[in-house]
Amino acid sequence: MNPEQTTAGRTAKTAASHIKFMGFDVDGTLTDGGLYFGPQGEVFKQFSVFDGQGLRLLMDHGICVAWITARSSTIVEKRASDLGIAYVVQGCKNKLQAFDAIRQSLKLGWESCGFFGDDWPDYPVIKKVALACTTPTAPQAMRNTANWINTRPAGHGGVRELCDFILSHQAHYNNPWEQN
């Protein structure tokens, strides 16, 4: 995605520089979207450690992170807990309403918010936020609306790519590994 593409008059670069709250769908963004079933009917999901480190970097930089997902899973709860994700909303039928409630509790305007989603339940949120992120496999309308689309595969570095993009445009962000 060209970082110069605009959503609501903002380029992805400009929007990223103002992000204070970033929401994420889970299946298809933080995971590859697959549901793997064990012999007892249990569901398995794969999360990337690389993506997790990116989320930790966002939070360490003071950006609030939320996961908002239509499915409910103890796996999601466990991974979110391991990472220290502040807000986890599962079994969510209206992602815009859930996102907006968190946004209001943080006392933030939409210009400080971003969301990364890949399918129709995410679309209402994508249309409202300043940094509207989606995947190359999302429906065309979502790709047309987004101002940032990942190039790394979902569940395999796509979230980290977004986290690095956001941080690279934040004022006062100093990557400690790039210092001499």
d(CA 128, CA 61): 23
Check residue 2 and give its pLDDT. Answer: 44
- What pLDDT is recorded for position 157? 84
* Phi-psi domain of 166 (left: phi exceeds 0; alpha: psi -120 through 50; beta: other): alpha
Digit-coded pLDDT (tens) for 44-92:
888 889 999 999 999 999 999 999 999 998 999 999 999 999 999 999 9
Q: Is the pLDDT of residue 5 over 90?
A: no
Tell me how far the alpha carbon of residue 37 is from its chain's centroid: 25
What gap in Å lies between CA 10 and CA 123, rounded to an integer?
A: 18
> What is the model's pLDDT at position 36?
77
Look at residue 1 and tell me whether its pLDDT is greater than 80: no
pLDDT at 173: 66
Query: Cα–Cα distance between 159 and 29 in angstroms, integer?
Result: 7
Give the model confidence (pLDDT) of 98-151 as tens digits: 999 999 999 999 999 999 999 999 999 999 999 999 999 999 999 999 999 999
Domains in the chain: ranges and CATH: 21-133+140-169 (3.40.50.1000)
